[in-house]
Amino acid sequence: MAARVEAATMGGEIGEEETDERGSMWDLDQKLDQSMDEEAGRLRNMYREKKFSALLLLQLSFQSLGVVYGDLGTSPLYVFYNTFPHGINDPEDIIGALSLIIYSLTLIPLLKYVFVVCKANDNGQGSGTFALYSLLCRHAKVKTIQNQHRTDEELTTYSRTTFHEHSFAAKTKRWLEKRTSRKTALLILVLVGTCMVIGDGILTPAISVLSAAGGLRVNRPHISNGVVVFVAVVILVSLFSVQHYGTDRVGWLFAPIVFLWFLSIASIGIYNIWKHDTSVLKAFSPVYIYRYFKRGGRDRWTSLGGIMLSITGIEALFADLSHFPVSAVQIAFTVIVFPCLLLAYSGQAAYIRIYPDHVADAFYRSIPGSVYWPMFIIATAAAIVASQATISATFSLVKQALAHGSFPRVKVVHTSRKFLGQIYVPDINWILMILCIAVTAGFKNQSQIGNAYGTAVVIVMLVTTLLMTLIMILVWRCHWVLVLIFTILSLVVECTYFSAMLFKIDQGGWVPLVIAAAFLLIMSVWHYGTLKRYEFEMHSRVSMAWILGLGPSLGLVRVPGVGLVYTELASGVPHIFSHFITNLPAIHSVVVFVCVKNLPVYTVPEEERFLVKRIGPKNFHMFRCVARYGYRDLHKKDDDFEKRLFESLFLYVRLESMMEGGCSDSDDYSICGSQQQLKDKLGNGNENENLATFDTFDSIESITPVKRVSNTVTASSQMSGGVDEVEFINGCRDAGVVHIMGNTVVRARREVRFYKKIAIDYVYAFLRKICREHSAIYNVPQESLLNVGQIFYV
């Protein structure tokens, strides 16, 4: 009986164990199914995200055609005519020229620019020669105007790399920083490249529009060349006249136009290869380049100047890069631009192999008659888009030069609320238009304009190669062998083209040199004057001991109001202030020294825009505010700027009231303490009010130690003191805000050399007279403006 009970008990236990095991297995299956469903859902989401990213990338690749590749895509309009301006003597020369075009497109745009140079784009936001210079300025102290502060390096956009002290990059950095002459030479190199791009902004519309309008004479031989020039001038005037509207409204048309253009020239190229001569495809063998030069003759060497035009537009490609990710630009070139251009040039070569006498109008002559006029319209539209891309690139580079103090102050208008990079510079626009019309009407043919165009582009390529060498060493930290290979290959190809362009200096190649020399003179003199003004302000700073000796009243009557004293100094009291208080009997109750500083970054986030600190003891009520901008940032209107300035000032006072103050004028712009500690001290009641602007100070913590607030002082009493001062400043603000600006006149000393006297007393003085005033740039109302004049000699 006991055995049966025991057996039953054991059976029950076994049954329960089996039931528990089945339940656990069931739970395990459910969990497994659930995890598989979750994994499948995650994979589906990843697939959708990747699919969406791929579609977005394809869309951006399509859009980049209109902005980036318009100039490069319209080169087939004029390449063969400029390669053989005196006609074709040997049909085999066509194969050699085509082979040169094929490998030029492969080596320079494809390998060098699309896959190497385009990666040096300042986090995808900046491009062009000044963007490369900004990258170098962040990784080495090569700026001629040394106004950088250690807090600038803590910006979220101030990306930089570090390297070992004994590395090749560190040695190169020390070599650059050792002498001022090397920094100056680097800046001049950047200015030369910028000036050549400005010249390109003049020559691209001229040659593109004139070549497109030249199609009128091909189908209507009775039309004179003067009519073609007149039509081109009308198109150019219309193009420059609508620049103030910006490209935001019509930009959506650019990509379809250029895409249709590439499809059309590729289709016509295939048609001509099939109909006329398929043997031109043997030009893909580089052997024909050797045979081309082996036949000798100066004409074959100088023809490189025309072949060079097949890669023009790469400078605009790099300058307009900031609108799109690098991968989108690479896809667009490798999938659409590169093959379509190869087919277009091969088709023209096949046509002129049969009709060598038509080389002067090879593009339009090779078009089938049934599609001639539609193709003429597409060509004209593509030429306009190409011109627009180059003009936009010129505007972008001028704005970057402004940020580096290398261009006279001109008006910059942002034409789009969506895209910060779309700008319009009225003064530069009209100068470009006048010079472009002068070049078009003056030369009246493509050959001389093509020679000028090629000279400008090859110099830009040489400048880019030299800057990229430094980028690869200092920024990318590439091995010196890779740097050497890139530099040698690039210089061999580009110097070969440059040597060919030297033979065409007297045939139009002098034009970009004259234009670049004029702009280089303007930019160099302006930068020199700006540098000397900054050095004067640095050397004539007022000592803190002198300020403290004046007492809280500064030896004057403190009247209600806030005085915003604008200065270029980020530290110290400017000389203009001592000049002001020694000539006037009163000063405002609150004085804020405002420094608007441009940094070598593409943008400064709004929450990191302002740095605020106190100058002297609290009862002096003197502060400093540094407003930092990147080269793509928009200077806000005065109302918004003033509002943000006071918000940062009020926050600083509240935070300072929680800590033990000091009366110094050190380089520390903020109060020590972590962001969380400051939030805790503010308390819950004020937390929401100040959370939005705490980031302003989080990135600029003081480096030197500051004593913490004593435990015997309560946070509430400190807060009340801060509130009292905030109310005092707010009352002074309500009494009136006056903007005090220095009107500094620069003069050359009598003993200086004559060229420096001409540069300062005449050129710089003239540029200062015609450029915009600081008050106009900052939108300061005239009724609140007070100018303080002073003269210094260099």
User: Which residue would you say has higher pLDDT here, 600 or 660?
Assistant: 600
Q: At what angle do helices 180-213 and 372-403 cross, to 10 degrees?
A: 160
Element holding 793 (H helix, E strand) = strand 785-793
pLDDT at residue 404, as a whole number: 86
What b/e string do you get for 381-393 counting C-beta neighbours within 10 Å, with b at 16 or more? Answer: bbbbbbbbbbbbb
pLDDT at 756 over 80: yes
Cα–Cα distance for residue pair 781/587, rounded to 1 Å: 20
* Centroid of chain to Cα 179: 27
- How many percent of the chain have pLDDT more than 90? 27
pLDDT at residue 124, as a whole number: 61
pLDDT at 618 over 50: yes
pLDDT at residue 443, as a whole number: 82
Task: Please write the tens of the pLDDT for every residue from 255-307.
Answer: 899 999 999 999 999 999 999 999 999 999 999 999 999 887 788 888 898 99
Model confidence, pTM: 0.81
Name the residue with tokens 């208080």: 581
Q: What is the mean pLDDT of residues 394-410?
A: 87
pLDDT at 680 over 50: no
Q: Where are the beta strands (DSSP E) in 568-633?
A: 586-598, 610-615, 622-629
Q: Determine contact, residues 597/147, Cβ cutoff 8 Å.
A: yes
pLDDT at residue 435, as a whole number: 93
Element holding 95 (H helix, E strand) = helix 92-105
Query: Which residues, 6 or more positions from 646, have their beta carbon under 8 angstroms from its beta carbon?
Result: 729, 733
pLDDT confidence tier of residue 774, bands split at 50, 70 and 90: low
Cα–Cα distance for residue pair 437/232, rounded to 1 Å: 9
Which DSSP state fits 154? G
- Look at residues 129, 105, 72 and name the one whose alpha carbon lies nearest to residue 465: 129
pLDDT at 720 over 60: no
Q: What is the mean pLDDT of residues 345-370?
A: 92
User: Which residue would you say has higher pLDDT here, 82 or 638?
Assistant: 82
Q: What is the mean pLDDT of residues 618-641?
A: 79
pLDDT at residue 637, as a whole number: 52
Q: Determine contact, residues 385/378, Cβ cutoff 8 Å.
A: no
Beta bridge partners of 744: 790
Name the residue with tokens 């085999």: 92
pLDDT confidence tier of residue 352, bands split at 50, 70 and 90: very high
pLDDT at residue 64, as a whole number: 81
Task: Please write the tens of the pLDDT for every residue from 525-557.
Answer: 999 988 888 888 888 888 778 778 777 777 778
pLDDT at 638 over 70: no
pLDDT at residue 223, as a whole number: 84
Task: Please write the tens of the pLDDT for every residue from 41-54.
Answer: 554 454 444 554 77
User: Which residue would you say has higher pLDDT here, 447 or 258?
Assistant: 258
Tokens of 712: 């015997």
pLDDT confidence tier of residue 691, bands split at 50, 70 and 90: very low
Residue 307 identity: I
Q: Determine contact, residues 466/162, Cβ cutoff 8 Å.
A: no
List C-alpha distances in Å: 559 to 168, 593, 652, 727, 728: 59, 17, 23, 16, 13
pLDDT at residue 320, as a whole number: 65
Cα–Cα distance for residue pair 497/476, rounded to 1 Å: 28
pLDDT at 397 over 70: yes
Cα–Cα distance for residue pair 48/681, rounded to 1 Å: 46
Render 470-534 in DSSP notation, one character per residue: HHHHHTS---HHHHHHHHHHHHHHHHHHHHHHHTTGGGTTHHHHHHHHHHHHHHHHHHHHHHHHH
Q: What is the mean pLDDT of residues 637-647?
A: 75
pLDDT at residue 307, as a whole number: 93
Task: Please write the tens of the pLDDT for every residue from 223-237.
Answer: 888 898 999 999 999
Cα–Cα distance for residue pair 500/744, rounded to 1 Å: 48
Percentage helix, strand, coil for the chain under 3-state DSSP, each rounded to 5: 70, 10, 25
DSSP, collapsed to helix, strand or coil, labels residue 744 as strand
Q: What is the mean pLDDT of residues 639-647?
A: 81
Q: Determine contact, residues 718/689, Cβ cutoff 8 Å.
A: no
pLDDT at residue 380, as a whole number: 92
Query: Which residues, 6 or more positions from 662, have their beta carbon under 8 angstroms from its beta carbon?
Result: 706
User: Which residue would you say has higher pLDDT here, 656 or 470?
Assistant: 470
Q: What is the mean pLDDT of residues 573-577?
A: 83
Cα–Cα distance for residue pair 750/42, rounded to 1 Å: 77
pLDDT at 626 over 80: yes
pLDDT at residue 5, as a whole number: 38
Cα–Cα distance for residue pair 164/775, rounded to 1 Å: 46
User: Which residue would you say has higher pLDDT here, 724 or 516?
Assistant: 516
List C-alpha distances in Å: 515 to 2, 214, 428: 116, 26, 13
Q: What is the mean pLDDT of residues 176-203?
A: 91
Cα–Cα distance for residue pair 69/320, rounded to 1 Å: 9
Tokens of 650: 């009020």
Tokens of 297: 């003759």
pLDDT at 661 over 70: no
pLDDT confidence tier of residue 192, bands split at 50, 70 and 90: very high
Render 684-741 in DSSP notation, one character per residue: HHHHHHHGGGTHHHHTT--SS--PPPPTTS-HHHHHHHHHHHHHHHHHHHHH-EEEEE
List C-alpha distances in Å: 458 to 205, 421, 439, 558: 18, 26, 19, 61
pLDDT at residue 462, as a whole number: 94
Q: Determine contact, residues 747/793, Cβ cutoff 8 Å.
A: yes
- Average pLDDT over all residues of the chain: 79
Query: Which residues, 6 or more positions from 744, have their beta carbon under 8 angstroms from its beta carbon?
Result: 533, 536, 576, 789, 790, 791, 792
| Residue range(s) of every CATH 1.20.1740.10 domain in the chain | 62-529
Task: Please write the tens of the pLDDT for every residue from 456-465.
Answer: 899 999 999 9
Task: Please write the tens of the pLDDT for every residue from 364-378.
Answer: 999 998 899 999 999
User: Which residue would you say has higher pLDDT here, 676 or 636?
Assistant: 636
Residue 474 identity: L
pLDDT at 675 over 50: no
Give me the helices (H) in 108-179, please: 129-139, 168-178
Tokens of 474: 């200092």
Radius of gyration of the chain from its Cα atoms, rounded to whole angstroms: 33
Identify the CATH assignment for 62-529 out of 3.90.180.10, 1.10.3720.10, 1.20.1740.10, 1.10.1740.10: 1.20.1740.10
pLDDT at 690 over 60: no
- Look at residues 291, 346, 298, 286 and name the one whose alpha carbon lies nearest to residue 92: 291
pLDDT at 187 over 80: yes
pLDDT at 8 over 70: no
Q: Determine contact, residues 413/423, Cβ cutoff 8 Å.
A: yes
- How many percent of the chain have pLDDT more than 70? 81
pLDDT at 251 over 70: no
pLDDT confidence tier of residue 419, bands split at 50, 70 and 90: low
Tokens of 195: 């000036």
pLDDT confidence tier of residue 125, bands split at 50, 70 and 90: low
pLDDT at 239 over 70: yes
Q: What is the mean pLDDT of residues 699-710?
A: 30
The neighbour count for residue 15, using CB atoms within 10 Å, is: 10
pLDDT at 577 over 50: yes
Residue 577 identity: F
pLDDT at residue 126, as a whole number: 57
pLDDT at residue 681, as a whole number: 42
